[in-house]
A and B are shown apart, each in its own frame.
Chain A
């Protein structure tokens, strides 16, 4: 696998997942604003933008949120930007990306870049983005060989998922007063149905946090994402070692997962904001490690028979 192609696939995985998660988050966020009259609108918008890592100095309202996170091509956090970046990566790896997957990405980009999202009702726009993203992900899984390239794609997807779920949980902790905030988070993760099936209709922040952080079967939980990322890294670097780990990324991911495993839930809950920030840092560091190991033009320097 060409380093450049591996990198492109990794980022397609991340960007498509980011587009989907962002539209979920926006969807739920707007519903909350509409349904809950008691809520402090400005504070909610502010906390959402903060959680998504957007620096913004203007008025915090719904229009700003939609612009910055949905349809503004100049905002790097927007859905349109994510799709555009995914398409650019796909374009650079077109001989590897399958025709079906490329067309799914390209038509999505064509639809969104024509400014359609600004004209649609927000709820329809979110649905469109979710459906198109799911379709692209499914095309990737269904039409690419599950070889090294696909592993990089899934690795990117998993890391992005961990990052996004951590951001959501963090945004929940910003407004602890709101009774519905964990409900909101569950729905934003697409986890409400699965959570209810697992815990029944027991509304407890503790149960929700446990589910989003530690559930081993739910595909958007943090543990699930970390496990999947670790599995990809294992396939990418299968060397069996008696000591240590295969690479920095594997070590970073493994450490994060172990830390979630061994600590009690109360422990985690007591320091939730810091934990979630730490997890975002894990995603950054793991991505750096993967880039260094795989994307920067091949392997560690080789000895060239004394010529160097």
Chain B
């Protein structure tokens, strides 16, 4: 290794996405060469350009009322076409299973009768909303947009960390990162065939329109934001602008007699589809938090009578519950009669007495997560916790076993990151975004790669001092072929191909409860080696 990557050493027992020992992985060879061709001053200047351009454009997120630019690292994260295909299939498969699950639990509840998941797991979730029972969303879609968090484990395999089918955010950075990087590293760009991401807003708008209430020929779509102090306000504004629709706050909408209208300078205009970025709890003070001023009184009734589509649907949060997460592989087998393409992280359920006993013995070596936490909140990493923290955790676990799951410490993969003038390994995750239009689930090639900027940090989140990387999904014949013309594509944003995984031999006899228990036991994670960080 020479130049910028000289002295770069991947962390032990960690998968580095660029380097395999001291060798550069094939997909990264061109990036490495091209970055090496830059002088130190040049590299630094381009890196500075990224931060200053984000400041100028106001590409920010808000923490406690303070706007901060979202740091973008100069080294892109590459995903080769084979790995991507698995991600694409796996994400689409998961979204379809979660769709079926949500429709089932807010409808017939067949999944309970067939013993795939205990009813109490669902009904005890704080995000299971009874007011949503019996609402059939237009087009049958509840998960219009999904962001499935993935990590690469020590072997480099993508694993699912969590599902976000409420109001996943971050897609705006996928688009702005691409723009900024093509300006910062044009020559590196031109040496790769990178699948574009700019069509996301078109896809999203088409999907939202496709799910409009029946009989509306030209539906009006709006984006509903909690306002400028929401951390993701930048994203709300960007999506509204790129879709060419109105960005509204709760006070701009009014529900009357089962219809929703937007207040304009020329009076009230009907609204048919609300891409809401407001949490369930604040959406409709009639049904949820009465003190909320962010929502619209009467909104849920309008959705119930089918005059307005709320995207994503109300009550989806139950599918994000980390205890429900542990059942998703079974849900995939049950609803789709397929084997999961992407594996979960091995997980212990604290409400299961056998699991609990094992975990309580090993608190100092596991990661404990609250089931309804988001953004890394409340997570306790055993090996890093003090004795007091462990004891406090033990008390909390015993008080509320339903509220926790445990996982082994996964050493997330690393990618070289330009920090303080040198390249250093930093842990990353990946949030691919999927859009469901009622017919197919499209996965945006790439997604948001979040980087934990502090050294060794495993929680990758913007609210915890994270940054991001532009994520390049390479076309199959990368690097640029000499003669091959570009294959015809049906647009830059490929629909997910139907999962190619063959259905199981016997089309999913619903597992009995006993079998279910059996599977749980056999799937409970094996003790790992020293999970030191």
Contact = CB atoms under 8 A, between A and B. Distances in A.
B57 A103 contact: yes
A107 interface: yes
Nearest to A6: B265
A4 B249 contact: yes
A1 B247 contact: no
Contacts of A271: none
Given A94-B237, A95-B241, A298-B268, A3 B58 contact: no
Contacts of A92: 227-228
Q: Please list the 4 inter-chain residue pairs (A to B) with the smallest Cβ-Cβ separation, ordered nearest first.
A: A94-B237, A95-B240, A95-B241, A298-B263
Nearest to A297: B263
B86 to A, nearest CB: 36
A133 interface: no
A3 B56 contact: no
Interface in B31-68: 55-58
B246 A148 contact: no
Given A2-B248, A92-B228, A298 B265 contact: yes
B251 interface: yes
Contact of B264 (A3, A88, A94, A110): A3
A106 B246 contact: no
A67 interface: no
Interface string A82-107: 00000010011011100100110011
Interface in A285-308: 294, 297-299, 302, 304
Contact of A106 (B56, B245, B268): B56
Contacts of A107: 56
B185 interface: no
B252 A2 contact: yes
Interface in B239-273: 240-241, 245-249, 251-252, 256, 262-268
A236 B266 CA distance: 10
B55 A110 contact: yes
Contact-size category for A? 20 to 34
Given A94-B237, A94-B247, A2 B264 contact: yes
A1 B247 CA distance: 11
A59 to B, nearest CB: 35
Contacts of B227: 92
Nearest to B247: A95
Given A4-B252, A94-B247, A107-B56, 9 more contacts: A2-B264, A4-B251, A6-B265, A91-B237, A95-B238, A95-B246, A106-B56, A299-B267, A304-B256
A1 B246 CA distance: 9
Given A4-B249, A4-B252, A95-B246, A298 B228 contact: no
Contacts of A110: 55-56
A5 to B, nearest CB: 8
Contacts, number: 69
Contacts of B233: 91
Contacts of A2: 246, 248, 252, 262-265
B56 A103 contact: yes
Specify the main secondary structure of chain B where it touches its partner. Answer: mixed
Nearest to A148: B265
B166 to A, nearest CB: 22
A299 B245 CA distance: 22
A2 B266 CA distance: 9
A3 B265 contact: yes
A1 B56 CA distance: 27
A107 B249 CA distance: 26
27 contacts: A1-B266, A2-B262, A2-B264, A3-B264, A4-B249, A88-B228, A91-B228, A91-B237, A92-B227, A95-B237, A95-B238, A95-B240, A95-B245, A95-B247, A96-B241, A99-B241, A102-B57, A103-B58, A106-B56, A106-B57, A106-B58, A110-B55, A294-B265, A297-B251, A298-B268, A302-B268, A304-B256
A112 to B, nearest CB: 14
Nearest to A152: B265
A277 B326 CA distance: 72
A201 to B, nearest CB: 44
B236 to A, nearest CB: 8
A6 B267 CA distance: 13
Nearest to A299: B267
Interface of A: 1-6, 88, 91-92, 94-96, 99, 102-103, 106-107, 110, 148, 236, 294, 297-299, 302, 304
A84 B58 CA distance: 14
A102 B264 contact: no
Contacts of B267: 298-299, 302
Contacts of A148: 265
A298 B233 CA distance: 24
Contacts of A103: 56-58
A107 B57 CA distance: 8
A96 B245 CA distance: 9
Contacts of A88: 228
Contacts of A5: 246
B297 to A, nearest CB: 14
Nearest to A92: B228
Nearest to B242: A95
A73 to B, nearest CB: 15
Nearest to A106: B58
A202 B237 CA distance: 53
A293 to B, nearest CB: 8
A96 B58 CA distance: 15
A142 to B, nearest CB: 18
Contacts of B251: 4, 297
Contacts of B56: 103, 106-107, 110
A289 to B, nearest CB: 14
B263 A94 contact: no
A308 to B, nearest CB: 11
Given A2-B246, A4-B252, A298 B264 contact: yes
Contacts of B246: 2, 5, 95
A298 B57 CA distance: 32
Contacts of B223: 95
Contacts of A1: 264-266
A5 B228 CA distance: 13
Contacts of B241: 94-96, 99
Contacts of A302: 267-268
A19 to B, nearest CB: 18
Which residue, B233, B240, B241, B256, has most C-beta atoms of chain A within 10 A?
B241
Interface in B190-240: 223, 227-228, 233, 237-238, 240
Which residue, A2, A88, A107, has most C-beta atoms of chain B within 10 A?
A2
A150 B306 CA distance: 36
A94 B245 CA distance: 12
A92 B236 CA distance: 11
B376 to A, nearest CB: 27
A94 B256 CA distance: 28
Interface in B254-298: 256, 262-268
Which residue, A95, A297, A298, has most C-beta atoms of chain B within 10 A?
A95
Given A2-B248, A95-B237, A102 B58 contact: yes
Contacts of B228: 88, 91-92
A236 B264 CA distance: 13
Nearest to B223: A95
A2 B240 CA distance: 13
